[in-house]
Chains A and B, each alone.
Chain A
Amino acid sequence: MTRVIEVPTHFDDRSFDTFAAGFGEWPPAEKVLVDARATQWASPYGLIGILTAGQALAEAKREKPLLTVPTSDEVKRYWARAGFFAQAAELFELHGKVPRSATTGPSDVLLDVTPVRASEDVHGVVHKISEGASRILHGELGLEMKATLRFSMALSEACQNIVEHAGTSGWVAVQAYTFRRRLGRRVVVIAVSDAGVGFRRSLESAHAKRFGERWGDGAALEAALIQNVSRFRDPGRGQGLAFIKRFLDQWEGKISIRSGTARLSIVPPWDEDVPMSDHLPNFPGAQVQIIIPAQEAKSR
């Protein structure tokens, strides 16, 4: 028997739960087919979410899942340019014609879908992003020059969370695009995802007792993002997310972290998201999304 999981037509953080629900209990017992034929658009969060599912199935030693690629040539080309198929080919049996190579030329893809397996990869990510980040953040989004370095720091800290906490590898991708419906402005989006142990298990031994019966995915996210705790006893830990929040507050940015069955967001005034969503469909590991919007003329 094969379990078919449809990738939403418009696949981003908002439709992610529909995708996650398709898997049922983790890991699903049946062979999995991820069907992206009807997909018209996917955010970096969505793309690396598909890869995370593939990795979680591989780590659970399930049969290699199938992935039917989007029917739309335009969508396929975009996914290829984002480096998605190169990574997906290792985790999925791809069905459908995949563009041979990434299109060259100017691109809103600041960072291809990039695996993060060790701290050396974080060096590579930060090195790669520096030039393009300045062009987009300062040139297009109207952020001050020093924002580029803050952005790189945020990216570095987010990627290090995979290396230090997930217990497995993950992916990162960075893109610029226009948030037409929600904001009507250009944004840069950092998406980071892994198929690891998740926040609850990572923090459980050090912090569960303090929360008592409240302990769960939501409480673990609250501990990490709001209280800045870490699983390490080292008092220098837990500052990365605190610093990212400070930047985002200045830029009216948004961070949301989904882990297990919960998602916690620091919601800026332009967004209508809820701060905490609990009892969501379970999904492996942790998924982080950071959105930095173009600055409005008055704040430039």
Chain B
Amino acid sequence: MIQTIRIGLLLREAVAAPYRNLVTRPTGAAVRTRIEATLADSNCLTALLDFSDIELVDLSCADEVVAKLLLTVRTAYFVVLQGLREDHHEAIDHVLTHHRLAVAAVPPGSCAPRLLGWVPADAREAFACVSERGPLDVSGLSRGLGWTVSRSRDALGALTVHRLVRPIGELYFPLQTT
């Protein structure tokens, strides 16, 4: 089950004005508080944050909304971003890399997520493999990428820590995006 949260709507509530620019730390903190409140009332495990109504995301808001949310909800939810434009990617990627965090983002018109932020290079490759092929176990990833079992285990372990795959039993599932 996915909880879709429209960031544009929360922004308008937070600033009580029809602005479409997600700027300033107080605004970012207010939006994040609303996201957390929405998730607290939800039974869903995946939060799909929809940025499609947003014109601009500055660094302060990327930090307050995305980075701090990931730090806060890290053990409880899977977070996926959608509706981001290329320039949104840049700000979010910058702040997440600074914190050594990562998040999956679904480009418009696609179901295949990409990673923003920082994960080890092997984990990034493993993420692409799981996203493309569907659920894999450690040996499946080893076969798919020609890696040793321990290398595959480490890569999937890193993705699990960053909440970028869903481990169920021996399998690692891609994040739900629809």
Is A153 positioned at the interface, with any CB of B under 8 Å from its CB?
yes
What's the nearest-Cβ distance from chain B to residue A239, in Å? 5
Given A123-B17, A239-B59, A239-B95, CB of A156 within 8 Å of CB of B68: no
A120-B15, A236-B68, A239-B63 given as contacts; is B24 within 8 A of A153 (CB)?
Answer: no
Quick one: given A123-B27, A149-B87, A235-B99, are A243 and B59 in contact (CB under 8 Å)?
yes
Interface secondary structure of A, over-half rule: helix
Contact with A along B84-106 (1 / 0, CB 8 A): 00110011001100110000000
**A152 within 8 Å of B (CB atoms):** yes
Using A126-B23, A156-B23, A236-B99 as known contacts, say yes or no to A243 and B94 having CB atoms under 8 A apart: yes
B-side interface residues, number (CB < 8 Å)? 26
Answer whether residue B58 sits at the interface, using C-beta atoms and an 8 A cutoff. Answer: yes
Q: Is the Cβ of A160 less than 8 Å from the Cβ of B56?
A: no
| Shortest CB distance B37–A (Å) | 21
For A164, what are the chain B residues with a Cβ–Cβ distance below 8 Å? Answer: 25
When the two chains form their complex, are residues A149 and B56 in contact, meaning their CB atoms are under 8 A apart?
yes
Tell me, in angstroms, the Cα distance from A149 to B94 when the chains sit together: 15
Nearest-Cβ distance from residue B92 to partner chain A, whole angstroms: 12
- Would you call A150 an interface residue if the criterion is a C-beta within 8 Å of the partner chain's C-beta atoms? yes
Q: Which residues of A contact B21 (CB under 8 A)?
A: 123, 126-127, 130, 152, 156
The answer, yes or no, to whether A2 is at the interface (CB within 8 Å) is: no
- Asked whether A126 lies within 8 Å of B56 as measured between CB atoms, the reply is yes
Cβ-defined contact, B58 with A236, below 8 A: no
B55 interface residue (CB < 8 Å to A): yes
Which residue of A is nearest B30, CB measured? A119
Q: Enumerate chain B residues within 8 angstroms of A288, measured Cβ to Cβ.
A: none
Instruction: Find out whether the CB atom of B56 lies under 8 angstroms from the CB atom of A153.
Output: yes
A101 to chain B, nearest CB (A): 26
Residues of A within 8 A of B55 (CB): 130, 149
Q: Tell me the A230-286 residues at the B interface (CB within 8 Å).
A: 235-236, 239-240, 243
Among A149, A157, A163, the most chain B Cβ lie within 10 Å of the Cβ of A149
In the complex, the answer to whether A153 meets B25 with C-beta atoms within 8 Å is no
With A146-B86, A243-B94 known to touch, is A153 a contact of B67 (CB < 8 Å)?
Answer: no
| A50: B residues at CB distance < 8 A | none
Chain B residues numbered 74-122 whose CB sits less than 8 Å from any CB in chain A: 86-87, 90-91, 94-95, 98-99
- Counting CB contacts under 8 A, is A174 at the interface? no
Considering only CB atoms, which chain B residue lies closest to A119 in the complex? B24
Q: Does B26 contact A (CB under 8 A)?
A: yes
**Which residues in window 143-177 of A have CB below 8 A to B?**
146, 149-150, 152-153, 156-157, 160, 163-164
List the interface of chain B (C-beta within 8 A of A). 15, 17, 19, 21, 23-27, 55-56, 58-60, 63-64, 67-68, 86-87, 90-91, 94-95, 98-99
